[in-house]
Every structure is written in C-alpha cells, then in structure tokens.
Amino acid sequence: MRRRGERPGHSATTAHFQAAYPFLGMGGLGAPGVYVGTDAFGGAWAFDPWELYARRIMRSPNVIVLGGISYAKSTLIKTYIYRQYLFGRQAWVIDVKGEYGPLAAALGFPIIRLEPGGEVRLNPIERRGGREGQLALLRSVALAALRRDLHPEEDAALRVALDQVNEEAGVFEPTLPMVVDVLLHPREAMVAGVSAAGGAEFAAAARDVALALQRLCDGDLRGIFDGPTSEGIDLEGALVVLDLSAMRDSDALAVLMTCTAAWQQAILRERKESADRAGVPMAKVFCVFEEVWRVAGNVGVAEWLQANFKLCRALGIANFVSLHKLTDFGTAGADGSRAARIAQALVADAGCTVIYRQSPDQREVLRTDLGCSDTETELATRLEIGEAIWKIGSRSMLVRQRMSRAERSITYTDEQMGVIGAAGTP
C-alpha cells in the first residue's frame, strides 16, 4: 500500500545508472601505481606515469605540478619518491633550495653538493651521449650563459669548436676550458670549417659566446664545470640529489641548472645506449626539477626543459617539473610569442598536470592553457592544503594526498605543510 507522499520508483538501464545515481564514481584510473591519497569519493588514489602511459591513459609520462607556497606540491614529490623506492625506481633531483637532505638520509644516499670552489666537478660536455648529444648540450649551456638565442655564426663556431676539442683531447674527455680556448684562438681547421675569412674574423664572431662560457671556467662558477667529472660520485643509487642551493640567490642559477641538467642527460643517454646493446630495458628514472619558477625566464632553461620533455620516451624517464603557476613561463605574453609557444609545448607534452591552489588572477590561464572547466577553475582557487586537481587527458580528479608519520620528517620545511603533517594522516 502506497504511503502518503510516496512517489513511483524510477527505472533506468545500467548504461544510465551512474547519471541516475550520481554519487557513484570510478575508483582510480584502473592501473597499478604508488598510493598518493584519497579521491573525492574516499577511494584510494594510486599513480604511476609509466603504467598509465603503457595503457594509453597518459599521452606521456611527464608531470607538471603547479601550486603556491605551503600548499604541499613539494611534499607530493618527496613522498612519491620515497614510496617509489620500494619498486626499484630511481630519482634524479635538481635541488635548488637544499631541502632534499632528509629524504636522501632516510634512503641512505649522499647529497652531491655543487658550489664554487667545492669538491665536486661535473663535465657537461662528456662524450657519454655521442657527438650529437654533446653538441646539443653545449648549445643549451651556451644559450643559458648568453640569455639569448645563438647567432648563426655562434652556432657554427660551437660546432667546429666541439669537433676540434674532441680531436685534441684524444682519449681524454674534452672540457669547457678547451672549448673557450679554441673559440678565442681558432685553429685553421675551424676557420675553414665555417668558411671564415680568417682567424680574427672567426674569433670576433664567436667572442660573446666564448666569454659567456668562460664565466663557467674563470668566473663566479669556477670550480664546478671547468674540468673532468670528479671520481667517486655514486650515480647508481635509488636517489641522486644534485644540490644547487649555494647559488639559489645568484643570477648564475639558470646557467648552473642548465649545465647540471646537461650532464645528467649525458649520463642517461649513455645508460640508454648500454641497455640497448645489452637488449634489456633501461631502468625507469624520475627527473625532478623543483623551483623552476626561479629560472623560467631564461630561454635556455625553458628550451632545455622542452627538449627533455620530448626525450622522455627515448630515455625512459618521467619528468616532474614544479612551478608556482603556469605564467612563470611567460604564458601571459603576446599570443604567438616565443615564451607562450614554449609554455604551450610543455603543457602539450605533459601527460598529467597536478594543480594545487592557484590565485584568482590565474583563472584565464587555467581555462585557456590547461583546459579547465568553469567548475575546475573556481575550485582551483579554493583548494585546501594538500588538495589538488589531477588532470590526465580528458579526466579530472580531486585528490587529497595523505602522509604517514614516518614521512613527516622527510617533507617538513619552514615553507611547507606543518599543518597537513599534523592533521593529515593516517
């Protein structure tokens, strides 16, 4: 017998059941991964870029993490590395703030600290990646040092200079001081290689790039990139941290970051070639670049990041790039500007974007550059500490990361999530 106020039941097919009963949602992405936290429905949220790429859920294993200070973007990266350690994955971190020491200590690996006059030297033009890889890295270093594009004469000069120092070095590794020397004092073969009128004309055309590189050898970065790579550096551990914090407030930071990343890329190229020769897959590596906003205005750094995003499949790496906001790359510039094109290319080559709280002035960028809906855009400006919108392809999920008590000591800094560490979990 029908009671007063009772309405007839509604019938629907299973195809329409989720719309008829909107409190149902899928659990995760249907692929195995490392636990991150919980989604909006309370289910476990796991993530692995390579698993998702293999299943065609992500178009690339690259990840961009956006978020203001104190909203836990660094905590996400640190705990993720810590948890991936159990799965045999390696992480290379370029640490600008010097805050990865606790994580390295927890996993039992030393920090590689780079500073002028320090004990560690890296050679960014080692032959590890082959001649083309060497030349690409030398160009990236020159771009960062010059803070502008290379002129055609400068680009040609670098090409013949590299060939010259490779020949002169013989069985030893060529170094940046050797490149500077041949640019300032060109050999006959170099002059002929670019059809210059003479050595004086060649030296004049290459003078700016030579002096920019000389800064790495004799200037404020002396003692970091001006010789062969130091022996005894452990690059096989699960965590390799390159600490650049000694130069965090210097205008040379962009050059330091580019040179360090160039050296890292040469190592990964060599590993790839070795794995191919042995017929085995290369070990999966996370390449983490935090605090990129500090150097995003440097064209050389931005272009290097863009190139590294495109190399992810070839080298078996997943790039994690951390920014405060997407406009750090200049997306607010004129339509069609170089800065805008680089930022758009990075977004296009990222398979996942993790958005922590954004300021209201980022609404238009969220809509146009990241494809956020009006609901996502408004939500992004009101997210709490530890909450983020994960955008993977056409899917969008609200995730609250969780952290164990054991992980608090490796993630806490005076700029990070003391609040979520106390209130968050387990």
Q: Where are the domains of the chain?
A: 31-107+238-423, 127-218
Long-range CB pairs of 151-157 (<8 Å, 24+ gap) are 151/205, 153/194, 153/205, 153/206, 154/205, 154/206, 154/208, 154/209, 156/193, 156/194, 157/183, 157/186, 157/190, 157/194, 157/202, 157/205, 157/206, 157/209
**Predicted pLDDT at 23:** 45
**Predicted pLDDT at 379:** 92
The pTM for the full model equals: 0.78
Asked if pLDDT for residue 258 goes beyond 80, the answer is no
Asked if pLDDT for residue 26 goes beyond 80, the answer is no
Q: How far apart are CA 42 and CA 38, in angstroms?
A: 5
Q: Are 26 and 17 in contact (CB under 8 A)?
A: no
Average pLDDT of span 21-39: 71
Q: Are 186 and 199 in contact (CB under 8 A)?
A: yes
Confidence of residue 408 (pLDDT cuts 50, 70, 90): confident
**Predicted pLDDT at 339:** 56
Average pLDDT of span 100-109: 91
Beta carbons within 10 angstroms of residue 186's beta carbon: 27
Contacts of 8 (CB under 8 A, 6+ apart): none
pLDDT, tens digit (0-9, with 9 covering 90-100), for 344-391: 777 788 889 999 999 998 898 889 888 899 999 999 999 999 999 999
**Predicted pLDDT at 352:** 93
Confidence of residue 208 (pLDDT cuts 50, 70, 90): very high
Asked if pLDDT for residue 70 goes beyond 50, the answer is yes
Classify domain 31-107+238-423 at the CATH class level: alpha beta
pLDDT, tens digit (0-9, with 9 covering 90-100), for 130-139: 788 788 878 8
Burial of 147 (0-12, 13-18, 19+ CB in 10 A): middle
Confidence of residue 299 (pLDDT cuts 50, 70, 90): low
Q: How far apart are CA 175 and CA 224, in angstroms?
A: 12
